[in-house]
Copies of this chain bind each other. A is one copy, B any other.
Amino acid sequence: MTDAQAQLIAKAEQKLGAKALITDPKEVEPWVTDWRGRVHGAAPAMLAPASTDEVVEIVRLAAEHRVPLVPQGGNTGMAAGATPPADGSALLLSMRRMNRIRSISADNRLAVAEAGVVLATLHEAAHEAGMRFPLTLGARGSCTIGGLTSTNAGGTQVLKFGTMRSLVAGVEAVLPDGSVHNGLSGLKKDNRGYSLDQLLIGAEGTLGVITAVALRLVPAVAARAVAWAGVKSPLQALELLRFLEERTNNIEGFELVPQDSLDLVLRHIPNTRAPLSGGHSWHVLVEATTAGAATDIAAEVEQLLACALQQGLIGDAVIAANEAQAEALWKIRDSISEAERAEGQTLAHDISVAVPDMPAFIVDAAAKVERAFPGVIASGFGHLGDGNIHFHVRAGNHAAPGWYEREGAEITRMVDDLVTAAGGSISAEHGIGQLKISELERLAPPGRIQALRAIKQALDPLGIMNPGKLVRI
């Protein structure tokens, strides 16, 4: 521990009490490695404020002593954006004690949740208020509102409701100078200069610490229908989506699953079974919901899929007859990453291209990667309707210690080059963090990197807010 860190910690203990300070290495240890277990950091202590005022105190101390802070929520990020540097130079700033839902209003369709509120907790609170917070993803039981906002998270319902950027009505944050930005007013229209709310969304804690977020709610789901269909190709899957969207506004989930991913799930995940009897090269999971009682959503989906079958758009389909069957279909989709890990080394790429370009991209990129690295297995699954695919490459017969670092890095560069050439993004919904920072610097236009650096330097001149993430000065 440096002298500066020791001084900061002593003052923080004096001002905030022992509760706000965790120095026992055993208690700190679970939080210094990223969720995927790939990046190992170190931190001599973790600060755990319980209020915005306490965050202000901590940020002021960090500025005074020039000690960097690494804000962290549920530590479920995919780009190691909340993992401290390995040299122990930074302190962890855990937001999990700020876990109050400050208000929830069905009339205003707004909830104000502190940064440390777990997503599943917000889901429950919205449900109890007769409303719904529609964003959801696999880590819902651990990930926090602050982390979701700081990474502009997406998930499986983006098709209808957008990413966090669409669902955040305002942000409260402590800026690096210790001032509090309060964007929680719930104003629908506010044109008083540059949007600090929008700047903080997706900034990965590098411009300030998000302490609370005003979130848009939507009417509760009255009923949902979940279906599984077999298709010939990603292109046919997209045609099915267009077909459905032309006929109903109720589609909110549309996930692409290759047969290969389904096979892995069936092999490694207990209590799973193939939804369809025949063989299909590709599959889609369709979710439709309705907020009103007037629509028989299951009948609507059944009729649409019957029509799609008749037109040859799908090879077969099944509709969940009850919630347990619906959950079983979602379990297949949500278990793909876990099944891949059980199978062996897998390289993950969270990428996007324009929606109409995605079917060809998946097929072409997989073929190119498999040709360049014979023996690896490449495929894409996920949010086809958002143009966002998790393009994963399994080591196959290349599996070996150090594969990630050596050949994996080469494969990633190839994928990122292909994505960039297609006008896409090397980070669709996971952010840049530590893991993608070099690739961002390599591939982004120099003017963009220059602008990001200028903004970072302007708002955090001392470099105390999550340095080394997203943008390097």
Contacts and interface: CB of A to CB of B under 8 A. Distances in A.
Contact of A452 (B166, B194, B353, B448): B194
A432 B192 CA distance: 6
A450 B179 contact: yes
A69 B242 CA distance: 45
A186 B425 CA distance: 11
B386 A188 contact: yes
A424 interface: yes
B192 A451 contact: no
A274 interface: no
Number of copies: 2
Contacts of A425: 185, 187, 189-192
Contact of A192 (B175, B187, B427, B446): B427
Contacts of A383: 189
A189 B458 contact: no
Nearest to A182: B445
A179 B459 contact: no
B444 A192 contact: yes
Contacts of A203: 194
Contacts of A192: 425-427, 432, 440, 444
Interface in A304-327: none
A217 interface: no
A450 B459 CA distance: 9
B432 A355 contact: no
A352 interface: yes
A281 B398 CA distance: 78
Majority secondary structure of chain A interface residues (helix, strand, loop or mixed) = loop
Nearest to A197: B198
A430 B195 contact: no
A144 B179 CA distance: 37
A163 interface: yes
Contacts of A242: 107
A274 to B, nearest CB: 30
A187 to B, nearest CB: 5
B445 A191 contact: no
Given A355-B108, A356-B108, A457-B458, A386 B189 contact: yes
A151 interface: yes
Interface string A445-464: 11110111011011100000
A139 interface: no
Interface string A162-186: 0101100000000101011110011
A158 interface: yes
Nearest to A454: B458
A300 to B, nearest CB: 12
B447 A193 contact: no
**Contact-residue size bin, chain A (C-beta under 8 Å from the other chain):** 35 or more
A429 interface: yes
A199 B180 CA distance: 19
Contacts of A187: 352-354, 387, 423-425, 428
Contacts of A181: 445, 447-448, 451
B451 A175 contact: yes
A236 B185 CA distance: 23
Contacts of A432: 191-193
B158 A193 contact: no
Contacts of A446: 179
Nearest to A200: B194
A335 B318 CA distance: 56
A388 interface: yes
Contacts of A151: 191
A201 interface: yes
A107 B425 CA distance: 21
Contacts of A199: 194-195, 198-199, 455
B450 A189 contact: no
A168 to B, nearest CB: 11
A471 interface: yes
Interface in A407-446: 423-432, 440, 444-446
A470 interface: yes
Given A187-B354, A193-B202, A193-B444, 14 more contacts: A152-B191, A154-B189, A165-B195, A177-B450, A179-B445, A181-B451, A186-B354, A188-B355, A189-B388, A193-B432, A193-B440, A194-B455, A195-B201, A196-B451
12 contacts: A108-B354, A179-B451, A181-B447, A187-B353, A187-B354, A188-B355, A189-B386, A192-B426, A193-B444, A195-B199, A454-B458, A455-B459
